Structures are given as structure tokens and as C-alpha cells.
């Protein structure tokens, strides 16, 4: 019988449940289960404004906006949706061109 739970186990189970309930997320995000920090981290790769809005709709939480930086010749800001889902801290990260920010708010 195990006496020391694996810290990432709950996050991994939550990720399986999240993707079962919202399979479209596997098309737009890459997920990680870090050893420290939030339980789940999703990085949005495409259709950032829509995916971030969808995630906020069913995960709730709040979006924090980072500082401007340049990426591939485009000025972007990283947006972080922070939430809790099934008792697991979740962060969804997306870098959006500064011109698209008004749509994401």
C-alpha cells in the first residue's frame, strides 16, 4: 500500500478528465504537469483568442496580462488564465499580438 502520494497524480487524472470532457483542447493546446507550481499548464498554439475564451468559459478564473515582448518580429503579450478545476490549479498560456488583446479581454 502506498503511503506517499505522487504529487503529479491528481493533476494527471484531472487532465485525462478535462480532455475527455473537452476533446477539442487536444487540438489547440500542449499540456504539461510540472513538478512544482500549477498542477496543469496548457500552452495554446493556434486560434489563441477563441481558445482562451473557451477555456475561460468552462474553467472560470481570471486572465493576467504580461509585459510586451517581441516574438518572430511581432509584438506580443503573454496572457495567463489561472483557474482551479477539480481541485487542481490550471494555467492556460497564450501569446497574443498586441492588436488582438482587445478581443481577448
Across the chain, which has 105 residues, the per-10-residue mean pLDDT values are 65 93 89 86 89 91 88 88 92 84 49
CA distance 2 to 101: 47
- Judge whether 3 lies within some domain: no
- Judge whether 50 lies within some domain: yes
Say what the pLDDT of residue 103 is. 46
Per the structure, the count of domains in the chain is 1
Say what the pLDDT of residue 81 is. 95
Close Cβ partners of 75 (under 8 Å, ≥ 6 residues apart)? 68, 69, 97, 98
Say what the pLDDT of residue 20 is. 94
Comparing C-alpha atoms, which of 79, 10, 7, 3 is closest to residue 36?
7
The domain in which residue 79 lies consists of: 9-104
- Does the predicted TM-score (pTM) go above 0.85? no
Amino acid at each position: 500500500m502506498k503511503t506517499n502520494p505522487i504529487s503529479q497524480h491528481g493533476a494527471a487524472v484531472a487532465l485525462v478528465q478535462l480532455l475527455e470532457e473537452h476533446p477539442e483542447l487536444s487540438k489547440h493546446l500542449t499540456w504539461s504537469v510540472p513538478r512544482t507550481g500549477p498542477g496543469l499548464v496548457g500552452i495554446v498554439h493556434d486560434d489563441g483568442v477563441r481558445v482562451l475564451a473557451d477555456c475561460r468559459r468552462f474553467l472560470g478564473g481570471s486572465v493576467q496580462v504580461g509585459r510586451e515582448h517581441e516574438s518572430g518580429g511581432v509584438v506580443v503579450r503573454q496572457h495567463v488564465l489561472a483557474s482551479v478545476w477539480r481541485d487542481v490549479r490550471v494555467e492556460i498560456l497564450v501569446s497574443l499580438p498586441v492588436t488582438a488583446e482587445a478581443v481577448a479581454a
